[in-house]
Amino acid sequence: MFFRESRFILLFLLIFPVFSSAQNDAVQDTLGYPDMVIYNAKIVTMDDASFTASPGTITQAMAIRDDKILAVGSDRQIRALAGPDTRQINLDGRTVLPGFILTHEHPTDWAWTEPTGLLHVFPEGNEHIVVHFLEGDAQEQLANWEDGLREAVNKAKPGQWILLSSDWGANFEYMPELFPTFLPQISRQRLDELAPDNPVRVKNSWVDGLVNTRALEEIARIFPEQEIEGRGNRGPTGRQLEPDIMLYNKVELNAELLKAQMELWAAHGVTVYGSSPYTIGNLNALRILDEEGRMPGRFAWSYTGPDLHYQTLRLISALLGNGTDYLWNIGAHGERSGGNCTTLPASDRVKAQEDCRLEPGDDGRRVKEDIVRSGGRIAAMHSGGDKDIDHLLDVIETQSEKAGLSLEEIRERRHAFDHASGAPRPDQIPRIKNLGMMVSMINTVIWENRTGYDASYRLRNYGAEYIHLSVPRNSVTKAGIMNTQEIDRALPQFLFYNVWVGMTRYNSGVDLVLAPEEGTDLMTQLKALTIWGAYYVLREDRLGSLEQGKLADFIVLDQDLLNIPTDDIPEVKVLMTVIGGKTVHLLPDLADELGAPTTGPTTWPTNPLKNRYIFKGPPPIPDYMRVQ
């Protein structure tokens, strides 16, 4: 009853904003004064989830109380709600958008690959981990890694963990050369010779790595029942190694590290992540941040294991949507699907590199079948090609039938697959639409040039006639399928560049526009980042748009994104990020104007937004990868 009465009073206020003093006091007694009012702004609410180019309502002002939006409307309407203690912020015409939602992003991974946050939590001289990032260009890092490890050993106490990593550069400029070459040149024998008294983890700025014998002994001590692998991104030496072994029984330190990483992304407008936490240690750290009210972002998590038996997956299915406003479950996906698993014709060499894991009889397929059969939802699933999606669609259709689900019940699940780096094919789109599925799309692969997944790889190895299968966002949107955004790299400063690439489809490395027919307008890219993303993470009633009653997550931009030249979009910066009514990022220029303290990672001694997090454009492509 109170909620209905409040809505009626607020509606009356917005239609008839001029009250007598007594009437206004009566309204405020019912609603309470807002904590914050922003006005003289261009508030793009994104309250239109349709597949048109409409952003929905654009207005001037917004009132916030506690962690929710109290009202949006004109300056006159909203400022009339302010009380004596309301903080009123004049944004001088700046553009405001809902906080961005990335539906396949791994802050739990980037926390261990991105130097700024890692060194902020583990500075030189800390007693837990000696962190050493190699310096110089790619060739210098390749040549000097032994010296770097010797330096780290000299700083370490006996038995202290050492993390040695290459550095792909602030804008990935060294990645194309280091990614395939750094780890293969390093042997465990050489690590043992250089660091006999310390457990060592070597990384190539990704989730993969190598450990020495002392590290293997630590792994065996903590997880004696698990098979030990020296390389790879699965098992105790992959994603699990840092949070669950290097920080064994130090969950609070892991919480601080994840907090720092999410603060970096919030500084670029990201307020929600849809991902797997990958390890129990990470999920526990996120829980601590949530319970203590310290989350600088919202984490919608999908289950990947370790236990992928049917009864466990039934339990996860029962948790679907369950949690708090900062940490909740959105499904499961278990093992990743295949890599570049396609039906496309290619040479024997290329076909030998394809990795399919959803074939009938594969354990990866069995897990997907169990998720669907138990009434759960597939979400945050990696995929690499159209053959993966053939298998996935078969699984959803056959196992839903076994579960006795109606078509409407299947659609309510919103099963999804991520990346879309080589799918869907045009003939798959009607099936995806019929099942009510969603697709998370990675614009990164349109501009990135490395091996295996990106569009230029497909261009070289499969042919120009298939390049439209790399992130076919326009085709999916025209079919009325909600699609979302991901970067899937430790590159938050590339967010607006990714938006631009999604519009233009330009790859500077090959100097080509790749399948221009799959480029979209700006509004499609923004809906993928906001309101459609909210549907993916099962919180469209609370997130994704700036509407009365929703959570107060918003960002303030330095430019009018809706009215600048397309080629200026990559240079847009986020001046302010607010999550649940709390300012988690505020750059000095706007802070000085508002008379407020600078907030967020720009206050760290390393000043990452100045030194590392300024967008400089994509890295150059090596000569050997160029299209001849």
Contacts of 30 (CB under 8 A, 6+ apart): 5, 6, 9
What are the φ/ψ torsions at residue 251 (nearest 5 degrees)? Answer: -65, -30
Structure tokens at 126: 């800390």
Question: At 271, which helix (H) or strand (E)?
Answer: strand 270-275
Task: Single out the residue of 484, 520, 528, 485 nearest to residue 504, CA to CA.
Answer: 520
Confidence of residue 332 (pLDDT cuts 50, 70, 90): very high
Q: What is the pLDDT of residues 477-533, one digit of tens each?
A: 999 999 999 999 999 999 999 999 999 999 987 889 999 999 999 999 999 999 999
Buried b (16+ CB within 10 A) or exposed e, 360-375: eebebbbbbbbbbbbb
Do residues 112 and 118 touch, judged by C-beta distance below 8 A?
A: yes
Q: What is the pLDDT of residues 540-587, one digit of tens each?
A: 999 999 999 999 999 999 999 999 999 999 999 999 999 999 999 999
Q: What share of the chain is helix, strand, coil (3-state, %, to 5)?
A: 40, 15, 45
CA distance 488 to 491: 8
Task: Give me the residues paired with residue 133 across strands.
Answer: 165
pLDDT value at residue 6: 43
Q: How many CB atoms lie within 10 A of CB 307?
A: 10
Mean pLDDT of 37-56: 98
CA distance 254 to 492: 20
pLDDT value at residue 225: 73
Confidence of residue 609 (pLDDT cuts 50, 70, 90): low
Q: Does position 448 have pLDDT exceeding 90, yes or no?
A: no
Confidence of residue 415 (pLDDT cuts 50, 70, 90): very high
Confidence of residue 81 (pLDDT cuts 50, 70, 90): very high
pLDDT value at residue 319: 96
Residue 599 carries which DSSP code?
B
pLDDT value at residue 80: 97
Q: Does position 171 have pLDDT exceeding 90, yes or no?
A: no
Q: Cite the DSSP H helix spans in 213-270.
A: 213-222, 251-266
Q: Does position 453 have pLDDT exceeding 90, yes or no?
A: no
Confidence of residue 30 (pLDDT cuts 50, 70, 90): low
Pairing of strands 298-303, 327-332: parallel
Task: Single out the residue of 332, 412, 408, 318 nearest to residue 366, CA to CA.
Answer: 332
Confidence of residue 357 (pLDDT cuts 50, 70, 90): confident
Cα atoms in the Cβ-side hemisphere of radius 13 Å centred on 433:
13
What are the φ/ψ torsions at residue 144 (nearest 5 degrees)? Answer: -115, 15
pTM over 0.95? The answer is: no
Mean pLDDT of 307-336: 94
Cα 92 to the center of its chain, rounded Å: 30
CA distance 258 to 292: 14
Q: Does position 269 have pLDDT exceeding 80, yes or no?
A: yes
Integer angstrom CA distances of residue 504 from 34, 114, 471, 473, 512 = 41, 28, 12, 12, 10
Confidence of residue 452 (pLDDT cuts 50, 70, 90): low
Q: Which residue has the tokens 């030189």?
A: 124
CA distance 62 to 384: 42
pLDDT value at residue 511: 85
